[in-house]
Structure 1
Amino acid sequence: MTSMHFEDFAVGARYTSGTRTVTDQDLKAFTELSGDRHPLHVDGGSGRFDRPVLHAPFGQAVFFGLFHDLHLVDDTIVSVLDTQWQYRAPVYVGDTLRFEMTITRCRRTSKQDEGVVTRHVTLFNQDDVAVQDGTSAMLLRARTTGPDPVARAFGTVAWGSALAELAADDERFTSAIASWDGTIGLRCGADETQLRIYRGRVIDVSRRSPHGSTFTLGADESEWTELLTGDDNDFMQRAMRGRFQVSGSGYEYLRLTKVLHTLIDHARTLAQQGGSP
């Protein structure tokens, strides 16, 4: 199988792994390797568990092993850059693990010949219980030096500019902001773009406006990816469940929820135009 380069990954692309069944030898080997011989992991378990629990990092190790088995980047990966992980449920001997992975960010480095691909990963057991999840970024070789599409570069200025251009032709958007003077911030992970609005028009798109945003709507990369590449615009449901955060004027945010819903309609259209590489 030919290895995938940076350009071959697209935000929203999903991958699934094979399975791996946890054995008693896995538990013993990981105990020896880590040196963690806490009773939780040996001697029949302890506390709330009636049997030994695998060490938490074992799940990460399973992910990296199963990812290697996909042979997606054997010849193009440079390094793993970070891993942020949550432990949701215990893993026991006898469990059969698999992962589902979604690409949530593709960003070319300043050298242009490499790129960072961020993955959101959920590790499931045989009962489809999510036992662990998290993100991990990897540095890959690039095939070319760009330019790269902006349709799924959520939160960037280039993406914000493309979004503003689409919204400018929508009467729902322009009429709703006809008398509004302010700035809407849209933050995806560490990236934020701000739309400066004056009397029905977006007059500027930048990382930071001179007076800051009136309010900023933010979420992590995985949340934006699910919202903008999923089947429906379920922004309001996600917002009501606290999946998005708002900073700044809550009053203006509530006034403009319909405007935000319209913007997200256009962001979803933009994401569909971006498609897969």
Structure 2
Amino acid sequence: MADRWFEDFAVGERWTSPPRPVTAEDLADFTRVSGDDHPLHAGPDAILQGPFGVAVAMGLLQRLDIHGDAVLGLLDTHWAYRRPVRVGDVLTLEVTIVRCRRTSAGDRGVVTRAMRLRNDAGETVQEGTTAAMIAARREGPDAVGRAFGTVAWAEALADEVDLADDLAGWDGTIGLRSGDDSGGDEAHLRVYRGRVIEVSRRAPRGATFTLGADPATWLELVEAPDNPFMRLAMAGRFTVTGDGYEYLRLTSALHRLADAAREIA
């Protein structure tokens, strides 16, 4: 089994599992183990129980051999069911590392995996994220270029970006967030006359507006061949809280910040 510690994972790493057929025995065994014998799970058009896909995804993740003895435990799983799974389907798992954060103790970290389960027609049947606690080989520091939403990442952005032309007369705070309120990261850039004068986890009076997205969207932003910020924003992949008017007025500056995020990544 692979001996990978927390430091050995990097945001953007990807793997694809070998195919895994779904059999009539799978349906019978999972019905017996789960006790879920609803009529949907019987007959010639039977649909496998939803959690069957989660179980298969976890099994395929293990077969990828990317986690070893350093794994200390599973922390959470957020999952969505997109299409039914039936006997005869052939499932494949795609895994992408979207977040790596060391704990305050320094001897371990949380690694979040975005997982997509596809059938043999290429359709996504189930998808979600799951986070694991993984032991670290040593204490930090860690790379910050893809630590989206953290103060260290925002400080690197501030060092890279030039907002003098876009925000010459602006006085306010831009919040940048990755993830949701329960498990995300957020940093605030205090801007005065085109210059970032302070970076903090929270500004005393809050942000003028906060731009947020899930880690997978930030990853797509920095890995695309050309800056896709406007396309992702128009598609609703980025959300805004706070002063929407100021957000719209600062579109050019945000595009420049996106360029800086791509550069430090």
Looking at structure 1, the residues matched to 104 and 186 of structure 2 have their Cα atoms a distance apart, in angstroms, of 19
Q: Partner residue of 2:208?
A: 214
1:242 paired with 2:241, answer no
1:201 paired with 2:191, answer no
SS in 2 for 1:174: coil
Gaps of 5+ in 1: 45-50, 272-277
CA drift of 1:117 comes to 0.3
SS in 2 for 1:205: strand
| Residues 110-162 of structure 1, C-alpha deviations (whole Å, 9 max, x = no match) | 22111110011111000000001000001111111111111111101111011
1:96 paired with 2:94, answer no
1:186 paired with 2:180, answer no
Structure 1 stretches of at least 4 aligned residues deviating more than 6 Å after TM superposition = none
Looking at structure 2, the residues matched to 2 and 105 of structure 1 have their Cα atoms a distance apart, in angstroms, of 20
Looking at structure 2, the residues matched to 71 and 115 of structure 1 have their Cα atoms a distance apart, in angstroms, of 19
Q: Partner residue of 1:230?
A: 224
Looking at structure 1, the residues matched to 224 and 259 of structure 2 have their Cα atoms a distance apart, in angstroms, of 12
Q: Partner residue of 2:166?
A: 176
Q: Partner residue of 1:69?
A: 63
Looking at structure 1, the residues matched to 2 and 84 of structure 2 have their Cα atoms a distance apart, in angstroms, of 36
Looking at structure 1, the residues matched to 34 and 26 of structure 2 have their Cα atoms a distance apart, in angstroms, of 12
TM-score by length of 1: 0.92
Match of 2:46 among 52, 69, 84: 52
For the Cα contact (< 8 Å) 2:110–2:132, is it kept in 1?
yes
Q: Partner residue of 1:47?
A: none
Looking at structure 1, the residues matched to 146 and 175 of structure 2 have their Cα atoms a distance apart, in angstroms, of 17
CA drift of 1:227 comes to 1.2
State the percentage of identical aligned residues.
Answer: 57
Q: Partner residue of 1:275?
A: none
| Residues 18-68 of structure 1, C-alpha deviations (whole Å, 9 max, x = no match) | 110000000000000000000000134xxxxxx000000111111111111
Match of 1:131 among 125, 129, 135: 125
Gaps of 5+ in 2: none
Match of 1:118 among 102, 112, 117: 112
Looking at structure 2, the residues matched to 158 and 229 of structure 1 have their Cα atoms a distance apart, in angstroms, of 20
Which amino acid is the alignment partner of residue 110 of structure 1? S
Looking at structure 2, the residues matched to 232 and 19 of structure 1 have their Cα atoms a distance apart, in angstroms, of 32
Aligned-residue RMSD, C-alpha? 1.0
CA drift of 1:229 comes to 2.3
